[in-house]
Amino acid sequence: MAKKTSKYIHEYKWSNIFAMIRNNMRAPNICNDNFRNKLVVITGATSGIGYITARKYAAHGANLLCVNRNPEKSEKLKIEIESEFDVKCDYLIADLSSLNDIFRVSNELSALEQPIDVIIHNAGVYLTKRELTPDGFEKVFAVHYLSSFIMNYILMKKLKAQENARIILVGSEGHRFAAWGLKLDDLNWEKRRFSGLKSYGSAKTAQLLSMIVFKEKFENSGVTINTMHPGAVKTDTGQENGRVYRWFKKNIFDKTLKSPEISAEALYYLGVSKDLEGISGKFFNLTKEEVPAPPALDKEVAFELWDKTLIMTALNELNLKT
């Protein structure tokens, strides 16, 4: 690991940090193209970025299939979207920290007869204390990384057969909190002191590393995969944390944040705009391309993580021709 750390130190560039700072102040590119009768899958669509994004796509004529945790909120969203925009808004209920739920919804999506035009992996969680899922995985890692990995992996065959689809990972500049890279021998934070920022950064770094391999898997198939930092926007993330964190979020953090409308604009642009045709494996701050931190560009680690993920999720036991 010391060798990797030394490698990363030499790869960091101030110009990339300054670019990030500049891009944080820029508005996203806008796309107003019609998307009527296209199918968009969004995870975590009942609040925050996912909710505004669902409305954005519906306003342009897209049909929605939302993967949410709460049945009541999902039904409310369905009624709202269908009555207001005259499109279809279906939903699947799943806890994306549960491998059983992730596999179930991934297989249901894979079995759909109609093509999926855009997949937006938006569901997320931020925790200040370490939690394990029933499957024994650190929860932030499971929700942000494992859920999108499993879904993309199981959907590979379907998406390739369609010869056209866009996958968007809602990532974060927060991947830079994992400044010295992933600890592949301690993804569950059993050997280190848990930190909310570092665990979040590690999960988002893992997401970016998976994109490197998925890009290769989708090469020349018409399927693209990109990652987007959604901007400094106000969301409901972190409600699982204690009273002190929630107070600071409501009274201090949130007062400095922007509307999630800018995130929705960017997600629509990345999912629909002809400017993005054939563009894959990129990291965007809203709609401005950026260079991720060096640990998120490490191809060797990307393939090590890929193989490790196949084993830990038992995907390596599935006979999937990808």
Q: In this structure, how many other beta carbons lie within 10 angstroms of the beta carbon of residue 15?
A: 8
CB-based contact 91:80 (threshold 8 Å)? no
Amino acid, res. 5: T
Instruction: Give the integer Cα–Cα distance in Å for 215 and 48.
Output: 28
Sheet of strand 118-121, all strands in order from the earlier edge strand to the far edge: 89-93, 63-68, 39-43, 118-121, 165-170, 223-229, 283-285, 288-290
Return the exposure string of 238-255: e unless at least 16 CB atoms fall within 10 Å of the residue's CB, then b.
beebeeebeeebeeeeee
Residues tagged active-site: 200
Paired strand residues for 42: 66, 120
DSSP E strands in the chain: the ranges are 39-43, 63-68, 89-93, 118-121, 165-170, 223-229, 283-285, 288-290
DSSP SS3 for 69: coil
Cα-flanking dihedrals φ and ψ of residue 177, to 5°?
-70, -20
Which phi-psi region, left, alpha or beta, contains residue 237 (left: φ > 0; alpha: ψ -120 to 50)? beta
Half-sphere exposure of 254 (CA within 13 A, CB side): 15
Helices 48-59 and 261-272: angle between axes, nearest 10 degrees? 50
Dist CA 66 CA 123 (whole Å)? 11
